[in-house]
Structure 1
Amino acid sequence: MNLAPIVLFTYNRPWHTAQTLRSLADNLLSNESELIIYVDGPKPNAPEDNIKNILLVRELVQKQTWCKKLTVNISTKNKGLSNSIIDGVSETLKTYDRIIVLEDDMILSPHFLEFMNEALEKYQDIENVISIHGYCLPIDYPEPVFLLKGADCWGWGTWRRGWDLFNPDSQLLMAQLKDKKLQYQFDLNGSYPYTKMLNYQIRGKVDSWAIRWHASAYLQNKLTLYPGKSLVQNIGGDGSGTHSQNEEHTKTILKTDKIILKDIPVVESCMAKKLIIERLTRNLSLKNRFIKIIRALR
């Protein structure tokens, strides 16, 4: 099996970064994998404690190899999360045909790398599938995997062919959504404020690569494969992150055993979509959910 390089983006959270790296090192394929780490630099006039934490992260990531091979890229300037991820993913995919992407606030199941690599291999030539995702909302889905329209951002993988479809132009993405009258469907039938997030991206109130990645995939009718039970636990909802948000409805329990990839129809799962919409709708009102997201992204 052709193992994908793992690219981890870090900044100023040494404790969170350590949890991510330890869970990655505990994965069954870590000792056969290549890890590439990007550490963002301090913002102008950054407070002393922020600079101290960045230095701690730099020290931590170089403390051991964590995987079979380690490359660390340290930025002296602050690029911001969006630019860091867009540039890092693009640069990596110049050399490799696939990639697994992590941020510094994710605890991984020991079977995360197995699932990601097996799925990247299985779907590499299925053009309708743009990416693989490791996180899943806590829904009662009975099957091992399902497909949803769009793309996602909590422990994900793609191929060069998938990332080539990424469009960073949020204004053009919004124009296409409006032209095709897809805003309601894009918002998961009104259960999640993706369109408003994209609008805030246009207005400069947020800086999100993820909403543009999702919109790029959605507008081209591409699908993402999800596990029925989550292989990623996000620990960034404590307010420590640049774009963190504390939302109860996203909290999940890690699946600790292997997921067997079954052949499924290459179409969006109506059942999974329905369960996700129900999960989002019953936890918070759309208005309150949007307010929380925007406050976190400022």
Structure 2
Amino acid sequence: MYSTPILYIVFNRPEETAKSFEVFRKLKPSKLYIAADGARNGRQDDVENTQKVKQIVSQVDWDCEVKTLYHPENKGCKVAVQSAIDWFFDNEIEGIIIEDDIIPNKGFFEYCQTMLERYRDDDSILTINGCSLGYQNNKQPYGKTRYFNMWGWATWSSSVKKVRETWANYNPEIPMLEDRMMKKNLRLPVLFDGNAQWAKYWEGLFLKVYENRINTWDYQWCYSVLKTDTFCIRPSQNYVVNIGSGELATHHNFDDAPIFHFEYTAPHFTDKKSINPKIDYRYEIFHVGAIVNSHYFRTFTRSYIKLYLKNLVGKLKSKIS
């Protein structure tokens, strides 16, 4: 029985939901919060698909405390996710957040549970990233980064953390676009020729949120980490795959990109209690370079080329056979 509370966010994708829900069947968490946005106006397919999704997630057949938040009307990505996490942390002091297109393995849950406990009293750590985004470092099981990733993650409520920007004080808007601390922390303290482009990329995204041109919730949380000079813990192995591409995807409707073809690199989290995590600038530069080269989706780093070619060869073999 897994004791860390989990928030599971779903919407209108029964196929993806059926796959990710199987993760919970195997894990058997003792507390599961399920939040679902309502169907969009004029979309009969949404009506049918959201009902199918609710039917799938209703099949909790293990000893589990289940709570649900089902919006009768569509709130959109920004409000629906924010309100779901608000609701989650109104009831729990810490926990894991997983969306319907994320498929974590057992190592992810071991890692999150350990990191939540270890950094509960460390106000320099704002959140726990669950995905390595293809980066590996076999010398350390985890490290620190300034860059939040939402592909399976965990954090604490403000009743635990003293940092002002814990989730209870999350701001869905970006109120300080010219914040000097955010801009300072956006730049790497090492030489990297793509860093100015990286900073420009993020400032452009923050501007779109500021002007309400993007209906999302996650860039605001990225902004909070940078603004407050806090950090995320990130794993050195990949415990997560994302199956969220395709025509029903909210943001990415293509499935040939390398980022959607990650593989698990470790079945379990191997802990080293004596570790003093530091920023691994190889990861920071890897992350910056990948974003600069088309948002992780058409990157030219060596590992992504290798992954893309592997996927391409697989498709060619399947066509030949």
The answer to whether TM tops 0.5 is yes
Deviation at 1:51, TM superposition (A): 1.2
1:40/1:84 contact within 8 Å kept: yes
2:6/2:29 contact within 8 Å kept: no
Deviation at 1:253, TM superposition (A): 0.8
- 2:133 aligned partner: 137
Deviation at 1:188, TM superposition (A): 5.5
- 1:268 aligned partner: 279
Counterpart mapping for 1:66-85 below 5 A: 68-85=64-81
Q: Distance in 2 between matches of 1:245 and 1:56?
A: 21
Structure 2, unaligned runs of 5 or more: 300-321
Deviation at 1:178, TM superposition (A): 8.1
Q: Distance in 1 between matches of 2:151 and 2:258?
A: 16
- 2:106 aligned partner: 110
- 1:12 aligned partner: 12
- 2:221 aligned partner: 213
Q: Distance in 2 between matches of 1:7 and 1:287?
A: 27
Deviation at 1:180, TM superposition (A): 4.7
The structure-2 alpha-carbon separation of the partners of 1:31 and 1:200, relative to structure 1 and needing over 3 Å to count, comes to same
Secondary structure of the 1:190 match is helix
2:170 to 166, 169, 179: 166
Q: Distance in 1 between matches of 2:153 and 2:54?
A: 23
The structure-2 alpha-carbon separation of the partners of 1:14 and 1:250, relative to structure 1 and needing over 3 Å to count, comes to closer
- 2:58 aligned partner: 62
TM-score calculated relative to the size of structure 1: 0.84
Q: Distance in 1 between matches of 2:108 and 2:62?
A: 15
Secondary structure of the 1:50 match is helix
- 1:153 aligned partner: 150
Task: Please state if 1:226 is matched with 2:234.
Answer: yes
The structure-2 alpha-carbon separation of the partners of 1:67 and 1:189, relative to structure 1 and needing over 3 Å to count, comes to farther
The structure-2 alpha-carbon separation of the partners of 1:32 and 1:65, relative to structure 1 and needing over 3 Å to count, comes to same
Matched pairs, number: 283
Taking only the aligned residue pairs, the percentage that are identical comes to 21
2:25/2:60 contact within 8 Å kept: no
2:181/2:228 contact within 8 Å kept: no
Question: Structure 1, residues 165-208: CA drift from partner, whole Å, max 9, x if none?
Answer: 53322142x22158855555599653472221111112222112
Q: Distance in 1 between matches of 2:263 and 2:118?
A: 26
Question: Structure 1, residues 135-169: CA drift from partner, whole Å, max 9, x if none?
Answer: 11112423211110142211000001332453322
The ranges of structure 1 where at least 4 consecutive aligned residues each deviate by more than 6 angstroms after the TM superposition are: 285-289
2:36/2:70 contact within 8 Å kept: yes
Secondary structure of the 1:111 match is helix
Amino acid at match of 1:190: Q
Q: Distance in 2 between matches of 1:179 and 1:150?
A: 12
- 1:123 aligned partner: 119
Structure 1, unaligned runs of 5 or more: 290-298
Question: Structure 1, residues 99-125: CA drift from partner, whole Å, max 9, x if none?
Answer: 210111011112221111111011111
Amino acid at match of 2:171: N
1:9/1:39 contact within 8 Å kept: yes
Q: Distance in 1 between matches of 2:145 and 2:75?
A: 31
Amino acid at match of 1:231: Y
Deviation at 1:69, TM superposition (A): 2.6
- 2:308 aligned partner: none
Coordinate RMSD, CA, aligned: 2.9
Counterpart mapping for 1:227-246 below 5 A: 227-244=235-252, 246=254
- Which structure has the larger Rg? 2
Higher alpha-carbon deviation: 64-73 or 89-98: 64-73
Q: Distance in 2 between matches of 1:6 and 1:286?
A: 27
The structure-2 alpha-carbon separation of the partners of 1:240 and 1:183, relative to structure 1 and needing over 3 Å to count, comes to same
